Each structure stands twice: as C-alpha cells, then as structure tokens.
C-alpha cells in the first residue's frame, strides 16, 4: 500500500551505501591522485620477497604506486592481453613472444634468470640423482611411476615442465602424476608431504627449503634455464593502461642499480643468489 | 432492521452519531469473496457484537472497520471522512484494537501501556494516565514487571489497558477473552463490563460467546459466509432461530 | 604441536613488538570488513524486514534467491565483481580494481544476503499478528519499522555477527578484487595465504591467531550486548 515510500526508502538505503563506499574510498586510499601502476607478475617474484625489496625503491624514485598482483604467468599474460595490467614480469618466453606478436605487449626486456631444479625425496626412488639431462630424469620418473606433483596452473613453471615432458617423449598421465593447481610454494609443500618429485624454480625452493623434506636432485641442464622478462602492455592496443608508469617500471627493472640489487638478493640468507641479473643479454 | 436509505447519502449528510461506517465493502482472498457488506455503521455509545460461525468473516470485517485492511472494493468512513491511505494513520490514532492474544511488546507493563501515547507524541503525562489504567485493570504494583513474566489473564489486562489509555473514539475487540481460562475470563469480563459502562466507550466486539453478547452488547450482527444475515438486540437475536442454526447454539 | 606453539609465540611477539605492517593489515581488515558489514546492514535489514512482513507476488522466489545467495562462494562473488571492475568492464572507468573499495563492494555482496536471511528469520520468529497490533496502536510507517526492529533486535544482532563473520573470514573475493597488494589491499586472510605460499607457517599461524582474536573480540562484544539483561525502569 505504501509502495512509493518503500521505493524511496530503498533508494535512500542505496544512496547511503554509495555514500559510505565513496567515503571509505576517500579515507582508505587517501591519496587517490597518486598514479597506480598495476604489475601482473608470477608468484615466484613475490614469494621469494624480491619485489618487496624493489617496489618501495621504485615508488620512492618515481612517485607511482605499484600494485603487484601475484598470479600464474598464464593469468598474468592474459591480464596483459585484456589490458588489465600496465606491466608484466613473467617467465614463459614462448608465450611472451606470442603476446608481443599479437601486439598486446611491447618494450619486452630480459631482466634476470635463475634456473629450474628437479627436486625429490632424499630416497630418490626413481634414481635420477645427478642425471645430466632433465628429459632423461623425467623419463625415469615416468617409467618407475614415481609420484610427481605438477603445478597444473598454466604458470611459467608449469609451461616449462610440459616442455620437458614433451622433450622426454612422455605423456604425463596416470595416478603417479598429480596436478595440484596451486602456486609454487603450495606445490612444494604438497610434494614434500607426499614424498614426490617436483619441478621448481631455484629461488622459491631455496626460500622454502627449511620447511621441506625435499632435496635438489637434478640441476644445470641448459633446458632448465628460467628466464624472466619485463614488458609493458601496449598502450596503442589498450588506451586505458598507464603507459608512462609501465615504461618507467620496465626501465627501472633493467637499470644498473636494480640489476645490482637483483644479483645480491638472497646471498646473505641462502648463501647464494636467487636470481642472476641479465639486462642487456 | 435494514436501513432503507442509500448509506452513502446518509454519510454525506454527516450523521454526527456515526463514528465508523462502510458502504459496498467487498474483500476477496484467492478469488473468493470472503466479505460482502453493502452497508454498516457503528454509532456513538453502541457496543456492537459481531457473531457467527468460524470462517464467517468476523475478523475480516473488524480489520476493515479498524482501518487495518483496505477492502478490494467499497469505502470506509470515519466520522463522515473517507478513510484513505493518506489519512489512515491519523484515523487509527483515534481508535484502539485488542486481539485474541495480548501481543505485547518486549518491555515492562508500563512501557506497553504507555506505548500508544508515545506513538502519538503525547507529552502531557502519559505515565500518569498509564498508571491510572493499570490500576483500573487491577495490575497496580506490576508496572515495572517484564511482560513475559505475566500470566495470560494479566497480559490480556495489559493489552486492554493499553487500548483504553488512548481514550479511543471506538474500540475494536477481536475475541479478547477467548484464549483465557474460565476463571481469569470471568474475572476479566466482570471488570471489563464495569469499565465499559463507566466510560461509555463505543465498541465493536467479535466473539463466539453468547454470554459476552448478553453482558456487553447493545446490538448484534450475525455474520455468515461473509454476509450479514441478521441484526438485532441480544434478546431478539437469541430468540431468532436463524442464529441458533448458524452458530449451533440454543 | 611445536609449530602451533611457535606460531602462537610469534603471534604474541608480532602484536607486542608493534610491527607496523601487522597493525596496518589488521586495521585494514577491520575497516574493510566493518564497513562492508555496516553497508550490508543498511541494505540487508530493510530487505529482510520487507520480505518477512510484506506479501507480494514474487516473494517466494525472492526468499529462495536470498537463501541461495547466503551460501554464495566468495570466489564466485570475487570473479563477478572483478569482471565489472576491470578496466574493460562496465564499471572500469571508476578505477576501483585492486582498491580496498573493491573488497568492500565484494564483501557487501557476500554479507547482504546473510544479513537479509537472518533478519527475515528473526522477524518470522515474532508473532505474525504483532505487526498488525503495532499498526493498530497508531504507528506511523517509520514508527512501525522501528518497533518491528526493536522487537527482533536480538535476531538482528545475530545477523550482524553472521555478516561480519562471513566477510572477515573470506579470502576468495579479497584476493580476486583486492589482489593482496602490500600496504594497500592486503588483509589478514590474503596475508595468511601469502605467508603459507612463502613457507612462513609460523607467521601464517600468527596472523591466523590475530584474525581469530579480532573475530572473537567483535563477536564477543556483540554477544555481550545481545545477552545483556534489559533493565526495567519504572
């Protein structure tokens, strides 16, 4: 019967809500005038703590605020394709080249590398310890049907793992091959709990080593190189991106100063660097 | 018995003694006509009893006259003014309703009895008026008691005090004594009858009980299947075979 | 067991040492989830009252929808909000993605059905004839709703607790639309996920203790209010 009043009460409620939301926007994000740079990156750069060191330096230097969103490389590249990020820091060269070729990303620069390592339980049931070829090691794991935990999340590490399987000529299937769909840290935990083999980037493995019942069994194969590139999302294709901020971040990452920080990162804690600076290569 | 003239003309003429009147009222629920009343009026000083079998539409009629429901068709007038969605709150504030259950709100006896006055924004001593009515319903000393600790009879007395304190121009009672046990009921009926006489309040009483009709009513309407089948004094109705047939009494 | 004690000890230490980042995360969590709860009350209580008191045509369908939405997975809400807030999305121009506001919006969507459902349930516990009696006492529409709210205030406090509990503990939506950006949108739950990924189980445990303490403190305060005996004055 008092329909109109209910409608106006409802409207008033929504207005109040909108008001409250805008209030919090002002109060929490405070300096909304500061320009944001959205960085879509792989979990490994966040989980190792490297970006927590680099981002404050960048913010102080340029005045931009960086929003580092940690996702798998696959999702990070997809965010670039959709123009949802301004700059990407990822490690899946083949997929990256494709995104650049499609015109979604530009100004792609090599930043650093570390390498992948094949880890497994100390007992090494498949007998791959010291194996020189990663593909050969994978073949042995498949033949002995030893448990292997895969990221299964379309990340850079996952893509690399699939490459090695292809090289080994094995189709990874069966109960011994388990995709956990998680980040690197979680995947290592699972592999450790199950006594399984796993492919990991060295940095994440080193930073988590203290909690893991896993050791490095195979390393040093050229095919296990893990190369990180930074690139900005192409403003010609995605006019809404923060092109200046993206460009600034690319330049920052390959600057001499940052390259030095990268080379020294983790030495104190783990006795060896987690990443090797590569700019200009 | 039936009023010959067109009720609308009468209302328009402004019969000063008519407090509440309805014309051409029809209430429909799920496609069924549950109340059809061509005309009805309650005059000042009357106590109109509405009786009839279960499902006859007694409570529906009361809700329409008390301006709690708007009928699908027809009009209701309060002292000659048509009740509309615009003025309904104002008109409700000149009447009171007591239902079968006490329907008290969480709080004390006093808070409940005061509530209607507070809703009306009465500044002038609502407390004293409430205390007086609590006394008249025999609850002195229980003002500060939480209502959920009261017995059924006491709770219904609070509900009645809450209605009377408003000094209503018409009081609607929907089987207010029927859920009480027989002792509490007799006691309350006695007090209630005295108060009705003392105040001379105009009332509409829906009931199943012919004793209440005899004690309280000045006029009786017999309702059946949504229609007023008979009207008269308590005496004439109790001698009417129709009533006996309808209510299964006699 | 050892890990639990270490985590607890670490949690106490983190709190006592006044680590600014921990406090920042805890305050942001309270602010975001508190505000989301408030907004969901503004929306959910009237909706719940309306659905409980009024009879109208699509009422049953709506009640069903509310009950379903009460169990909506936060990840799903996060995904939908993200689709709207992305630069390419319909609300992209607002630039809300990866802001605390985005988390508030998602959490409002999570908490509002919960508040609506609890409100509905608490009103339906009242005597169904009570609303009529309140009208018959001469209540204006505003007075009417106020008295109905007053009558079911204990149930409404339960609604507040349930709504707050739902949003302070959710991680899927905060992660999806907040992005767990350090110093900006990192709330307790997303910080816990990050620390687990980093293998810092003791820090993760410490954060989880803080989260539980916060949730408990707020719920406890509301429970005290709810259970407090009304004092009657004459």
Shared-domain flag, residues A106 and A241: yes
Strands A105-120 and A197-201: antiparallel
Please write down the long-range contacts of C1-10, taking CB distance under 8 Å and 24 or more positions apart: C3/C201, C3/C202, C3/C205, C4/C205, C6/C202, C6/C205, C7/C201, C7/C202, C7/C203, C7/C204, C7/C205, C7/C206, C7/C208, C7/C209, C8/C205, C8/C206, C8/C209, C10/C202, C10/C203, C10/C205, C10/C206
Instruction: Give CATH for domain C2-227.
Output: 1.10.3720.10
Is residue B117 included in any domain, yes or no?
yes
pLDDT given at position B109:
96
Closest approach of A3 to chain B, Cα-based (Å): 11
* pLDDT tier for residue B68 given thresholds of 50, 70 and 90: very high
CA-to-CA distance for C101 and C115, rounded, in angstroms? Answer: 20
Residue-wise burial string across A25-36, b where 16 or more C-beta atoms lie within 10 A, e elsewhere: beebbeeeeeeb
Question: Looking at the complex, does the CB of residue C100 fall below 8 Å from at least one CB of chain A?
Answer: yes
Best of C197, C202, C204 to substitute, by most chain A Cβ atoms within 10 angstroms, is C197
Give chain C positions within 8 Å (CB) of A14.
43
The answer as to whether A264 is a domain residue is: yes
A231 plus A104 within the same structural domain: yes
> Cα–Cα distance between B117 and B146 in angstroms, integer?
19
| CATH number of the domain enclosing A173 | 3.40.190.10
Residues 6+ apart with CB under 8 A from B207: B49, B50, B51, B173, B175, B177, B178, B213
A162 and A218, same domain (yes or no): yes
Of the candidates A166, A155, A163, the residue with the CA atom closest to the CA atom of residue A201: A155
List the beta bridge partners of residue A68. Answer: A39
Using an 8 Å CB-CB cutoff, list chain B residues near C132.
63, 68, 99
**In this predicted structure, what is the pLDDT of residue C27?**
92
Q: Tell me if residue A56 falls in helix, strand or coil.
A: helix
Residues of B in contact with A1 (CB under 8 A): 70, 85
Q: How many domains does chain A have?
A: 2
Let me know whether A63 and A98 are in one domain. yes
Percent of chain B with pLDDT over 70: 90
The nearest alpha carbon in chain A to C39 belongs to: A17
Q: What pLDDT is attached to residue A22?
A: 59
Domain CATH number, residue B117: 1.20.1580.10
CB distance from C132 to chain B under 8 Å? yes
Residues of chain A with pLDDT under 50: 1-3, 30-33
For the stretch B137-168, pLDDT in tens is: 999 999 999 999 999 999 999 999 999 999 99
Chains that touch B (3 or more CB pairs under 8 A): A, C
Most A CBs within 10 A among B85, B86, B87, hence the mutation to make, goes to B85
Cα end-to-end span (Å), chain A: 76
Sheet with B203-206, side-by-side order of all strands: B95-98, B170-174, B203-206, B47-51, B219-224, B227-232
> Which residues in chain B have Cβ-Cβ distances shorter than 8 Å to A2?
85
* pLDDT at residue number B3: 42
Is this complex's ipTM strictly greater than 0.95?
no
Q: What is the pTM of this model?
A: 0.80
3-state secondary structure of A105: strand
Instruction: Spell out the per-residue pLDDT of chain C, length 234, in tens.
Output: 677 888 788 778 877 887 888 889 999 999 999 999 999 999 999 999 999 988 888 899 999 999 999 999 999 999 999 999 988 888 888 888 899 999 999 999 999 999 999 999 999 999 999 999 999 999 999 999 999 999 998 889 999 999 999 999 999 999 999 999 888 899 999 999 988 887 787 788 889 988 999 999 988 888 887 776 544 333
Q: Which residues 56-85 on chain C approach chain A with CB closer than 8 angstroms?
A: none
The set of chains that have 3 or more CB pairs under 8 A with C is A, B
In a domain, B179, yes or no: no
Which residues face A118 on adjacent strands?
A199, A218
Q: Name the 3-class secondary structure at A239.
A: coil
Contact C136 B143 (CB under 8 A): no
Residues from chain A contacting residue B85 (CB–CB below 8 Å): 1-2
Give the one of B105, B119, B143 whose C-beta lies nearest to C234's C-beta.
B143
Q: Of C129, C230, C234, which has the smallest distance from its Cβ to B103's Cβ?
A: C129
Does residue B51 form part of some domain?
no
* Segments forming the whole domain that contains residue A217: 115-224
Of C132, C151, C230, the CB nearest to B68: C132
Domain-located, residue A10: no
- A12 located within any domain: no
- Same domain flag for A234 and A265: yes
pLDDT score of B168: 96
Cβ A245 vs Cβ A107: under 8 Å: no
Q: How does strand B95-98 pair with strand B170-174? A: parallel
Mutate to test the interface with C, among A46, A67, A237, A243 (most CBs of C within 10 A): A67
Asked if the C-beta of A1 comes within 8 angstroms of chain B's C-beta atoms, the answer is yes
- Residue of chain A whose Cα is closest to the Cα of C195: A47
Neighbors of chain A with 3 or more C-beta pairs under 8 Å: B, C
Q: Which of C25, C52, C199 to mutate to test the interface with A (most CBs of A within 10 A)?
A: C199
Note down the domain range covering B132: 102-167
């Amino acid at each position: 019967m008092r329909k109109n009043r209910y409608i106006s009460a409802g409207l008033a409620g929504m207005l109040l809500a909108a008001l409250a939301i805008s209030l919090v926007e002002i109060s929490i994000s405070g300096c909304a005038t500061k320009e944001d740079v959205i960085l879509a990156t792989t979990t490994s750069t966040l989980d190792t703590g490297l970006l927590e060191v680099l981002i404050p330096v960048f913010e102080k230097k340029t005045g931009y605020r960086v929003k580092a969103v940690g996702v798998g490389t696959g999702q990070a590249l997809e965010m670039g394709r959709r123009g949802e990020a301004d700059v990407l820091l990822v490690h899946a060269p083949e997929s990256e080249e494709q995104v650049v070729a499609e015109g979604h990303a530009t100004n792609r620069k090599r930043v650093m590398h570390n390498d992948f390592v094949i880890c497994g339980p100390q007992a090494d049931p498949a007998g791959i310890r010291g194996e020189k070829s990663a593909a050969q090691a994978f073949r042995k794991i498949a033949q002995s049907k030893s448990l292997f935990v895969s990221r299964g999340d379309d990340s850079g590490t996952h893509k690399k793992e699939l490459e090695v399987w292809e090289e080994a000529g094995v189709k990874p299937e069966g109960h011994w091959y388990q995709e956990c769909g998680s980040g690197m840290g979680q995947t290592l935990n699972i592999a450790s709990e199950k006594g399984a083999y796993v492919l990991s980037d060295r940095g994440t493995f080193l930073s988590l080593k203290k909690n893991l019942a896993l050791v490095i069994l195979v390393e040093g194969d050229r095919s296990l190189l893990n190369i990180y590139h930074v690139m900005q999302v192409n403003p010609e294709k995605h006019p809404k991106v923060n092109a200046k901020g993206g460009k600034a971040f690319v330049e920052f990452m390959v600057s001499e100063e940052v390259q030095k920080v990268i080379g020294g990162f983790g030495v104190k804690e783990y006795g060896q660097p987690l990443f090797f600076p590569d700019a200009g290569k | 018995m039936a009023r010959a003239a067109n009720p609308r003309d009468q209302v328009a003429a402004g019969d000063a003694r008519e407090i509440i009147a309805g014309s051409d009222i029809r209430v429909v629920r799920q496609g069924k006509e549950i109340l059809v009343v061509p005309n009805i009026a309650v005059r000042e000083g009357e106590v109109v009893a509405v009786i009839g079998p279960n499902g006859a539409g007694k409570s529906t009629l009361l809700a329409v006259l008390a301006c709690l429901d708007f009928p699908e068709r027809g009009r209701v007038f309060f002292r000659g003014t048509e009740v509309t969605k615009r003025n309904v709150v104002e008109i409700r504030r000149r009447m009171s309703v007591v239902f079968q259950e006490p329907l008290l709100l969480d709080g004390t006896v006093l808070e409940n009895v005061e509530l209607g006055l507070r809703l009306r924004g009465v500044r002038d001593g609502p407390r004293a008026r409430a205390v007086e009515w609590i006394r008249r319903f025999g609850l002195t000393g229980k003002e500060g008691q939480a209502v959920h600790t009261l017995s059924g009879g006491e709770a219904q007395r609070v509900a009645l005090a809450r209605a009377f304190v408003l000094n209503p121009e018409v009081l609607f009672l929907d089987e207010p004594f029927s859920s009480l046990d027989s002792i509490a009921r007799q006691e309350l009926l006695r007090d209630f009858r005295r108060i009705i006489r003392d105040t001379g309040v105009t009332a509409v009483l829906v009931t199943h009980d012919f004793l209440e009709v005899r004690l309280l009513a000045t006029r009786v309407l017999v309702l059946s299947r949504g229609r007023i089948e008979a009207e008269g004094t308590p005496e004439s109705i109790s001698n009417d075979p129709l009533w006996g047939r309808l209510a299964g009494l006699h | 067991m050892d890990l639990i004690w270490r985590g607890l000890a670490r949690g106490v230490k983190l709190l006592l040492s006044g680590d600014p980042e921990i406090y920042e995360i805890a305050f942001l969590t309270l602010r975001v989830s508190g505000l989301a709860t408030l907004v969901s009350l503004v929306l959910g209580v009237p909706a719940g009252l309306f659905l409980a008191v009024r009879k109208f045509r699509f009422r049953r369908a709506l009640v069903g929808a509310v009950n379903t939405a009460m169990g909506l997975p936060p990840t799903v809400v996060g995904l939908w909000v993200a689709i709207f807030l992305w630069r390419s999305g319909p609300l992209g121009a607002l630039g809300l993605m990866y802001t605390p506001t985005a988390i508030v919006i998602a959490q409002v969507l999570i908490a509002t059905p919960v508040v609506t459902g609890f409100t509905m349930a608490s009103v339906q516990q009242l005597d169904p004839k009570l609303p009529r009696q309140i009208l018959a006492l001469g209540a204006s529409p505003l007075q009417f709703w106020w008295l109905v709210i007053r009558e079911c205030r204990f149930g409404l406090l339960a609604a507040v607790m349930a709504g707050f509990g739902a949003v302070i503990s959710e991680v899927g939506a905060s992660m999806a639309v907040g992005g767990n950006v350090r110093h900006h949108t990192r709330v307790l739950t997303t910080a816990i996920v990050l620390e687990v990924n980093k293998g810092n189980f003791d820090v993760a445990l410490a954060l989880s203790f803080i989260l539980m303490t916060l949730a408990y403190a707020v719920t406890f305060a509301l429970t005290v209010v709810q259970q407090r005996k009304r004092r009657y004055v004459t």
